[in-house]
Amino acid sequence: MPSVLITGSNRGLGLEWSRQYAKASWRVFATCRHPEEADELRQLAETCRTVSLHRLDVTDADQISALANELEHEPIDVLLNNAGVYYEKYAPLEAPLDYQAWTHTFQVNTMAALRMAKTFIGNLALSEKRLVVAISSHMGSIAEIDHPGSYFYRSSKAALNAVMKGLSLELKPLNIGVLLLHPGWVRTRMGGPDAPLLPEESVRGMRKLIDEFTISNTARFFRYNGTEIPW
Ligand code: NDP
């Protein structure tokens, strides 16, 4: 049975990843910051025995270590760095720059993905698929910047792309791949109610890319529908 470890799986795309992989009979290590409040995820774990729920704030090094200890010897086919934050929607440009929010954006969107990958390399190496996925954004593509704003988010995702491309060179000799995915504009709390895509379709598309992944595609950056995004 293939397995996936998902961050930020209590809502939005993370919840949908958990649902679809559970339905496909994968072993799902679903993580979130507050399992006691994650009603839909808890319900999924109660009805599907291949899903387990684990506490994880991706900015908390102690919680990451505790999870690594708990999952020691467990093969993880796909490490899915999904958790993300986007503050600027709530902070207009005229407002003073909130450096604390910018720092936190980097901690969640960029630094955590590398820390997770380094921590779980041993688990990936025990698996067949051996793949690190980073949910990036086309807003992290410097080539695609066509309007001002979203500086915290854009810089954090551009940095994520750079980090993951570098990491792919370190992991390739170990036959561990890295895949960067843009989910499209999706109707979640982050995407908002006007987003045209539903999580079901976005995740279905991204799962297909994961299924089709081979190491020759390592460090490529795709939209959910398979089109490639320039850096
Ligand atoms: P949501 O805002 O709906 O969900 C974000 C998830 O991240 C929540 O589960 C949240 O948990 C979790 N999270 C935030 N901070 C932390 C943390 N410190 N530790 C662990 N989990 C955390 O967003 P989406 O589902 O839309 O986004 C998922 C990913 O897709 C993100 O990386 C995002 O950048 C990316 N993306 C989304 C797009 C969209 O249109 N929706 C477009 C492009 C990219 P909690 O409930 O505890 O806050």
Which residues, other chains included, contact 90 with Cβ-Cβ below 8 Å and sequence gap of 6+? none
Which of these, 62, 112, 60, 66, lies nearest to 85 by C-alpha position? 112
Question: Ligand 1 center to residue 135 CA distance, Å?
Answer: 9
Please indicate whether residue 33, judged by its CB atom, sits closer than 6 Å to ligand 1. Answer: yes
Put residue 28 in one of left, alpha, beta given phi > 0 → left and psi -120 to 50 → alpha: beta
Class of domain 3-223: alpha beta
pTM for this entry: 0.97
pLDDT in tens, 126-171: 999 999 999 999 999 999 999 888 999 999 999 999 999 999 999 9
Which of these, 174, 194, 8, lies nearest to 84 by C-alpha position? 8
Q: Which of 5, 33, 103, 223 to mutate to test the pocket of ligand 1 (most atoms within 8 A of CB)?
A: 33
Question: Ligand 1 center to residue 173 CA distance, Å?
Answer: 31
**What CA–CA distance (Å, rounded) separates 119 from 31?**
15
Of 93 and 190, the structure prediction assigns the larger pLDDT to: 190
pLDDT value at position 88?
Answer: 78
Give the pairing of strands 131-135 and 78-81: parallel
Ligand 1: which residue has its CA nearest to atom 33? 84
Report the pLDDT averaged over residues 21-49: 98
Among the atoms of ligand 1, which is closest to the Cα of residue 138? Answer: 43
pLDDT value at position 41?
Answer: 98
Q: Which of 188, 189, 197, 222 to mutate to test the pocket of ligand 1 (most atoms within 8 A of CB)?
A: 188
Helix (H) or strand (E) holding 30: strand 27-32
Ligand 1: which residue has its CA nearest to atom 44? 137
pLDDT band at 221 (very low <50, low <70, confident <90, very high): very high
pLDDT band at 35 (very low <50, low <70, confident <90, very high): very high
pLDDT value at position 149?
Answer: 86
What are the sequence ranges of the domains in the chain?
A: 3-223
Please indicate whether residue 191, judged by its CB atom, sits closer than 6 Å to ligand 1. Answer: yes
pLDDT value at position 9?
Answer: 98
Supply 162's token pair.
Answer: 């750079």
pLDDT value at position 186?
Answer: 98
What integer best gives the mean pLDDT of the chain?
96
Compute the residue count for the chain: 231
Question: Ligand 1 center to residue 84 CA distance, Å?
Answer: 4
**What CA–CA distance (Å, rounded) separates 31 from 42?**
11
Strand order in the sheet with 177-182: 51-55, 27-32, 3-6, 78-81, 131-135, 177-182, 220-223
**What CA–CA distance (Å, rounded) separates 88 from 95?**
10
